Homo-oligomer: A and B are copies of this chain.
Amino acid sequence: MRKLNVAILGATGAVGQRFIQLLEDHPWFQVAELIGSSRSAGKTYGDAARWVLDGNPPAGITDRVVGALDEPLESPLVFSALPKEAARLRELELAEAGHVVCTNASANRMLDDVPLLLPEVNAEHVDLIAVQRARRGWSGGALVANSNCTVMPVVMSLKPLRKYGIRRLHLVSEQAVSGAGYPGVSSMDMIDNIIPYVPGDEDKMESESLKMLGSFAGDSIVSLASTVSATCTRVPVLDGHLVNISVDLAEQPSLSAIIDDWQTYQAASPVPDLPSAPDYPLQYLQQIDRPQPRRDRQAGAGMMTSIGRLRECPVLGYKFAALSHNTVRGAAGCSILNAELMAVKGYIDGFQMTVGEAAFA
């Protein structure tokens, strides 16, 4: 099989590096273009980028020449790790030019016709692309976004509970520093300290989570009608965002029923068979002091959400803690999973993939 060429926008940054790392041995996609800012363009990747992940870049990456953001791309599939302002117009231009763009940037997430896609939660939202293409007159291009990295553990853990009626949500996050990119948070702010504020994230928590848990009404997404209160804090952890979640449900399931919902949860086919999807997207940890960022962020190669401490909340009914790896499941890994879903659903021209039972049909 010939792999599909992909371009990575913002390839020198921390999330761009995760894309490179996660795509190293990807069965369907291969990195063909590395795109950087004007400061990086024309240099080799090794000269332009300071590799901040563990170890070293995959073989062959260091000598590639970084391309410029304002020049045409050849790859049909584009992953964007651009900063917000750089992303806003460029992502739309590339989609208009026929590229399928899977973005991790926040700029276009809340546009009406852009799905905020998380395959295990709302795979059906991918069909908003037909609306998007029709409305904008795009032929082969498309733009799908994944959510803010702190929203991930929230919507992943709440999806199986949506059936009970989610009325009110109270969220307090403890977020890793990699969420702010590199260099991001100064070590002078993080040694022996926490910061009780993360710029912009509380608003995203309150809006994006409802859009993601919303339903696809044929031509638009109807956000979940819940009340959400979010507080975001930064802690001295490298990777892994933990959220303390209290939730008021319309029904009153038992605690064991909820744990069972989590343990058995799987999205409908073909999602569990996508290459980057874990067998089960959720795990419930019985130990009273879990999940912990360092010990649980790598579950399912960083793609599982770990949940723990489910108990009654005197104020809202139920409370628990949920954790996801913020730069894998919460960023690059989710964009790649979104692209895999697009490929299976036939939204990437000339690159129709089959997985699961279908593959043996």
Contact = CB atoms under 8 A, between A and B. Distances in A.
Contact of A292 (B174, B194, B228): B194
Interface string A173-190: 010011000111111111
B314 A228 contact: yes
Interface stretch (A32-40, A294-302, A339-347, A353-361): A294-302
Contact of A187 (B189, B291, B313): B189
Given A242-B194, A289-B195, A188 B229 contact: no
Interface residues of A, number: 60
A172 interface: yes
Interface stretch (A154-162, A214-222, A233-241, A257-265): A233-241
Interface stretch (A92-100, A105-113, A120-128, A315-323): A315-323
B193 A293 contact: yes
A191 B206 CA distance: 29
Please tell me how many copies of the chain the complex holds.
4
A88 interface: no
A168 to B, nearest CB: 5
Nearest to A183: B186
A300 to B, nearest CB: 10
A237 B194 contact: yes
A165 interface: no
A193 B55 contact: no
Contacts of A141: none
Contact of A192 (B183, B293, B299): B293
A27 interface: no
Nearest to A245: B231
B314 A238 contact: no
A228 to B, nearest CB: 6
A288 B295 CA distance: 30
A168 B246 CA distance: 14
Contact of A194 (B191, B228, B235): B235
Contacts of A228: 314-315
B196 A227 contact: no
16 contacts: A170-B316, A172-B244, A182-B186, A183-B183, A186-B187, A187-B187, A187-B189, A190-B191, A191-B236, A191-B237, A196-B290, A196-B291, A227-B315, A228-B315, A235-B236, A236-B236
The 9 closest A-B pairs by CB, nearest first: A183-B186, A193-B294, A172-B172, A229-B315, A187-B190, A192-B192, A197-B289, A196-B321, A177-B187
